[in-house]
Chain A
Amino acid sequence: MHDLFLIKPGEIELKLGNRREFTRRLKEQITKRLKGIPFIFEEYPGRFFLTVEEKDSELALFVLQHCPGINGVAKAIRIKKDIDEICQATVECAKTEISAGSHSFKIEARRSDKSFPLDSYKICVVAGNSLLSEYPKLSVDVHNPDFIISIEIREQAYVYSRTVAGPRGLPVGSQGKGVLLLSGGIDSPVAGYMMACRGLALESIYFHSYPYTSPEAQQKVERLAARISIWTGGMNLWIVPFTDIQLAIAKASYEEAKTLMLRMAMMQVADIIAHRINANSVVTGESLGQVASQTAENMRLSQSKTSLPVLRPLIGIDKEGIIAIARQIGTYDISILPYEDCCVLFSPKHPILKPDFGELRSHFESLALGNLIESAVDNSERKCFDFADALKSGI
C-alpha cells in the first residue's frame, strides 16, 4: 500500500525563469531528508506529488511539513478524471472526518483542465450531493464547515481533505549558503530558521570560551543546531575555541569597548569561515536596540569586519515577537536552559552605544588579533547534524 501526498509549492510558482532550478532544489531537499526511504517524486505545473509506502507515510508528512518552499501538503486520492470516481473518492475522504465527529462540510473544486465537462461549481454540487446521499445527517456549511473536501482536476483528478501548512518560502540552498552566528540564546536560532525558510542553506558558528563557558552551554547550542536542522535538512556546527581571543581583548582593550571588540572579532571569524565554505552571507539574531551592542552604529562597526552582507531577519521584531516564533519552532525551551555563558565579566557596565567608527576600528586593529583569529578558525571543531539528528531532538 502506498500513500500519495499532494504538495502545494509557494513562491516557486512565481519564479518564471528559474522554476526548474527551484524545483530541483526542493526535490534535492526532500530526497536528502527521506534518505533510505523509497519514494516517487512527480512534478506538474502548480503541484508536486510524493508517493511513499504506507509505513513511511508519517515521516514523509513530517518532512514535507518542515521543508521550506512548501506552502501546504495533503494526503490525497488520485483518480481518473471521471465524476463518478471523484464522487466515490469524496465519500472515501469524508469517512475519516465523519468518524472524527464532523457534521458539516464544504467542497472546493479547482478545474485546471478546462476540457473537463463540469465546471468547478458543478463539480462541487455533484460531489456534495453524492456525499449527502451517503451521509444524510451531514449538512453543507460554506462559511464554517467542520471539514473541507478539495477536488482538483488536473492531468488527473485529486481529492483530499486535510491540508497541513508547510513553512512556505523557498527551498533551502536556492539562495546559496550563509553562516549563522549561533549562541545559546533565544534570538539566533530563530534567525537561522527564518533564513532557512528564505532558501539559505546554513552552517552555524558557536564561540566556545572554555572554561568561561561551560560544556553544558555547548551541548545546548548543539541541541539548537539539531533542532534547526528540521528546517535546514542538516547543518554543520563550527565550534570555535574563543578563549584566547577573549583573553587578549580583556587584557588589551578598555572596559567600555570590550563587547564591541568581541563582536568585531566574532564577525572576522565568521568572515573567514564564510569564505572557506563559499558562503555568501553572515546571519545574526540581532534586533535593533535590543541590547547595547545592537545599535545601528555598533552593527556598522561589527559588520565592517566582513565583506559579506550581514543578514538580520529579526532586526525589526521585538523580543515578544521573537519569543513567539521560538516557541513555535521549539527552540525556546532549549534556549532558556540555564547554561548562559559566563561572559558577565566581559560585559562592561556602561558599554559604548554610539562609537566613534574610525577610532574603534583603529583600536581593534591595534589589538592585532589576526593570528589568534586564524588559529581559532583552524582549531575549530566541526560537528555535523543531519535530519536524523533533528528528528532525535525531540519533536
Chain B
Amino acid sequence: MKDIYLDWAATAPPDPDIMRIALEFSLKAYGNPSSKYWLGKEARQALEESRLRVMRSMGVTKGSLIFTSGGTEADHIPIFAILEKLKRASSAEKPMHAIISSIEHSAIEEQMRILERLGLQVSRIDPDSKGHIEAEQIESRIRKETALICIMNVNNETGAIQNIKAIAESIKETVLQKKIKKPWLHVDAVQALGKLSIRDLEDYADSFAISAHKIRGPKGVGGLWIARPLEAFIRGGGQESGMRPGTENLFGALAFSLAAEKAALSMQENQEKAIALEKRLLDGISSIPNTLTLPERIPQDKGFVPSIISMAFPGLGGETMVRALSDCHIAVSTGSACMSNIHLAERRVLKAMLVPDDIAFSSIRVSTGPLTTPQDIDSFLEQAEVLYRRLKT
C-alpha cells in the first residue's frame, strides 16, 4: 500500500539531497564555529553563509537572523525578552500588557499563560468566523502598558492568512495617536515560510519566527528574525549575537538554508500546484454528503493558503477518522484529539471561530506539499467517503 502523506503542516518529509549535502559538509567541517583555527573558521564561514542564504531566500535585507532549535524557541525569545521589564513593571501602578490572537500556536499561547502567572496582563483577540484577525480589534486594546503583540501569519489549522501589513499599520497609527511607545510586534511565520512571500515582514514586524522542518529541512532547527537586538533571556557563550547561546547547529543551519533556498525558487510552481490540489480537494469534499470545510472555503480564496484545509465529518470523531485513514496508510491530522488534557487546547482555534463543539470534534486537517499528487487527493477522498459512510454514527 502506498503511503499518502497529507500532513505537511505538521512536518514535511526532509529533502534527501539537502540532508546529504548538509550531513557530508558537517562531517567534514566539524569544528566549533567559535574556534579560531581553520576547522572553526570553516564552520563559521559556512554558518554565516547559511544565515545569509536563509535571509536572501526570504528576500529580507534588514535586521538579523538568529538560528534557534525551532519555531517554538524562536517564538519564545521575544516573549522572554519582556520578562526583565515585567519585573520592573510589577512595582508600577499598572501591570505590563500583551496582546495575542486567541488562535496562536501553543508555543505562544502556553508561554503567555506562564507570563500571566508572573503578572503580565494578556488580551486575546478572537478572529472572525473565517479565522481572520481584524486590525481594529487589536487597535482598541493597545494601551500605554502594551509591550508585546503576537500575531501569527498563517494559521496552522485553518490556513487563514492574517493581514500583517494592515495590523502593523494600524498599530503604528494608534501609537502615534495615543502618543505611546510602540509595542514589539512578533509574527509567528512558521506556516507562512515557503507558502507565501514573507519579504514584507521586515517592514512591518519587529521579529518573526520560522522553522526548517516545515519546508523539507531537518527538525530541530529554526530561526528568529529580529529588527534590532532584544534582551536575551538565555545566557551563555554569546553565540548568535548573544541571543541564543550554545554551540551552533551547523548541519541544521546549512540544511535549513538550502531548504529555504529551494522553497523560494520553487514557490511559484508549488503555489500553482497547491491551488490545483485545493480545488480538487474542495470539489471532492463538497460532493461527500454532510461534510463541510472549516471555515467554509472556496478555491483560490486570497485569505487562505491553499495547502491547509480543515474539514469536518459531522457525526464521526476527527480522531476516529484519522485512525481509520491511518489504517489505509493515509496520514492526516486532527484538530480535536479525544484526549482530555489536549482536548481544549486542540479545539481552541475552531472554538475561537465559534465552530460548534460537535463540528470541531469531528474535524480533521488535510495539508498538502510539493510532493502531493492529484492521485493522493483522489485516494484520500475515496477512502474518506467510504469510511465516513461506514463509521458515521
Contact = CB atoms under 8 A, between A and B. Distances in A.
The yes or no verdict on A and B being binding partners is yes
Interface of A: 210-212, 214, 247, 250-251, 338-342, 344-346
Contacts, number: 39
Given A247-B391, A344-B317, 11 more contacts: A211-B320, A211-B323, A211-B327, A211-B391, A214-B338, A247-B390, A247-B393, A338-B341, A341-B338, A345-B393, A346-B393
Nearest to A339: B339
Given A211-B323, A211-B324, A338 B340 contact: yes
A345 B316 contact: yes
A214 B393 contact: no
22 contacts: A211-B321, A211-B324, A212-B317, A212-B320, A214-B323, A214-B338, A247-B390, A247-B391, A250-B393, A338-B339, A338-B340, A338-B341, A339-B339, A340-B339, A340-B340, A344-B317, A344-B338, A344-B361, A345-B316, A345-B317, A345-B393, A346-B393
Given A338-B339, A338-B342, A345 B319 contact: no
B342 A342 contact: no
A105 to B, nearest CB: 50
B393 A210 contact: no
Contacts of A210: 323
B315 interface: yes
Contacts of B324: 211
Contacts of A251: 393
Contacts of A214: 319, 323, 338
Nearest to B361: A344
Interface residues on B, range: 10 to 19
Nearest to B362: A345
Contacts of B321: 211
A379 B324 CA distance: 20
A212 B361 CA distance: 13
Nearest to A250: B393
A210 B321 CA distance: 11
A247 B321 CA distance: 15
A101 B11 CA distance: 59
Contacts of A344: 317, 338, 361
B340 A342 contact: no
A251 B393 CA distance: 7
Interface in B331-389: 338-342, 361
Q: Is the interface of B mostly helix, strand, loop or mixed?
A: helix
Contacts of B323: 210-211, 214
Interface string B282-321: 0000000000000000000000000000000001110111
Nearest to A215: B323
A247 to B, nearest CB: 7
Contacts of B341: 338
A345 B315 contact: yes
Interface string B255-270: 0000000000000000
Contacts of A340: 338-340
A338 B337 CA distance: 10
Nearest to A346: B393
Contacts of A212: 317, 320, 391
A291 to B, nearest CB: 16
A342 B393 contact: no
Contacts of A338: 339-342
Given A211-B320, A212-B317, A214-B323, A342 B338 contact: yes
A335 B262 CA distance: 48
Contacts of B342: 338
A212 B327 CA distance: 13
Contacts of B317: 212, 342, 344-345
Specify which of B320, B321, B341 lies most central, judged by the most chain A CB atoms within 10 Å of its CB. Answer: B320
Contacts of A247: 390-391, 393
Nearest to B319: A342
Nearest to B341: A338
A319 B341 CA distance: 20
B393 to A, nearest CB: 4
A212 B317 CA distance: 8
Which 10 pairs from chain A and chain B are nearest by CB?
Answer: A211-B323, A338-B339, A250-B393, A211-B324, A342-B338, A345-B393, A342-B317, A338-B340, A211-B320, A338-B341
Contacts of A339: 339
Contacts of B327: 211
Interface in B226-277: none
B97 to A, nearest CB: 34
A340 B317 CA distance: 13
A247 B315 CA distance: 12
Contacts of B316: 345
Specify which of A251, A342, A346 lies most central, judged by the most chain B CB atoms within 10 Å of its CB. Answer: A342
A211 B321 CA distance: 8
Contacts of B315: 345
Interface string B192-204: 0000000000000
A278 to B, nearest CB: 36
Interface in B189-234: none
Nearest to B324: A211
A342 B319 CA distance: 8
A63 B391 CA distance: 46
B271 to A, nearest CB: 34
Nearest to A338: B339
Nearest to B339: A338
B63 to A, nearest CB: 41
A210 B324 CA distance: 8
Contacts of B393: 247, 250-251, 345-346
A347 B393 CA distance: 11
A249 to B, nearest CB: 9
A211 B327 CA distance: 9
B347 to A, nearest CB: 12
A339 B342 CA distance: 11
B388 to A, nearest CB: 12
Interface string B64-79: 0000000000000000
Contacts of A342: 317, 319-320, 338
Nearest to B343: A338
A158 B341 CA distance: 54
A340 B338 CA distance: 7
A377 B321 CA distance: 26
A251 B392 CA distance: 9
A346 B391 CA distance: 12
A277 to B, nearest CB: 31
A194 to B, nearest CB: 26
A116 B281 CA distance: 93
A281 to B, nearest CB: 32
A367 to B, nearest CB: 15
Interface in B113-137: none
B115 to A, nearest CB: 26
A96 B337 CA distance: 54
B181 to A, nearest CB: 43
A247 B393 CA distance: 7
Contacts of B338: 214, 340-342, 344
B41 to A, nearest CB: 50
